[in-house]
Amino acid sequence: MIIYIDMDGVISDFKLACKLQALTQTEMYAPDKYLDFSQNPVMFGAKEAIATLELMGHDLYIASTPPWRQPKAWMDKRLWIDEHFPTLRRKVVLTHRKDLLIGDLLIDDTRYRGQPDFKGEWIHFGKNGLGWEGVLDIIKNKEV
C-alpha cells in the first residue's frame, strides 16, 4: 500500500514542541514568532511504527504542511526527517492540499487540508485516542 503520513502531531510531537519552546499553537504561525521544527520531539511510538510498516513492505511518504510565512520551517522539516526517519528523506511531500495526493492511506491528525476528501482512506490519528498501536492494528486488519 502507498501510505502518506503527516508530520506534526503524528510522527513529530507538535504540542510538546510548542510547550518546550514556550509558544502557543496560534503564536507559532505568526510572522514574528518561530517554532524551530528541527527541535520537535518524535511522537511516542512513531519510530517503531514506521519501522514496522516498512518491514510489512508498504511504500511510505511524509505529507506535511509547513507554515507558509515561515520558509525556514520547510528546511527544518526536511532536516528533522533526515535525522529521525532517514529512510524517508527523499519521500517528503510538502502540500496544503492533501486531497490531491494519490495513495491508499493517509494518516493525519487534522481535517482542514483536504484530508476528508483524500481519494484513499483517511485514518484520523488522535481521534478518540487513536495512536500508533491502533493505527498499526487497522493496517494489519486490512491485510487479512
Q: Where are the domains of the chain?
A: 2-13+42-142
* Helix-strand-coil split of the chain, %, nearest 5: 40, 15, 40
In this predicted structure, the answer to whether residue 15 has a pLDDT above a threshold of 90 is: no
| Span 2-13, average pLDDT | 94
Alpha-carbon torsion, ordered 92, 94, 100, 102, to 10 deg: 0
Please give the pLDDT value at position 20: 66
Q: What is the pLDDT of residues 54-81, one digit of tens each?
A: 999 999 999 998 887 788 888 889 999 9
- CA gap 74, 37 in Å, rounded: 9
The confidence score (pLDDT) of residue 5 equals 98
Higher local confidence (pLDDT), 103 or 18: 103
**Residue range 2-13+42-142, CATH number:** 3.40.50.1000
DSSP 131: -
Q: Residue 28's pLDDT is what?
A: 62
Residue written as cell 527544518?
76
- The predicted pLDDT at position 30 comes to 63
| Pairwise CA distance, residues 42 & 34, whole Å | 19
d(CA 131, CA 25): 21
The distance between the two most distant Cα atoms of the chain, rounded to a whole number of Å, is 50
Question: Cell numbers 511531500 correspond to what residue?
Answer: 93
Give me the active site residues, please.
6, 8
pLDDT higher than threshold 70 for residue 142: yes
- State the DSSP H helix or E strand holding residue 137, giving kind and residue range, or none if neither: helix 132-142
The per-residue pLDDT for range 83-140, each reduced to its tens digit, is 999 999 999 999 999 999 999 999 999 998 889 999 999 999 999 989 999 999 999 9
* pLDDT of 42 above 70: yes
Please report which confidence band the pLDDT of residue 36 belongs to, taking 50, 70 and 90 as the band edges.
confident
pTM of the entire predicted model: 0.89
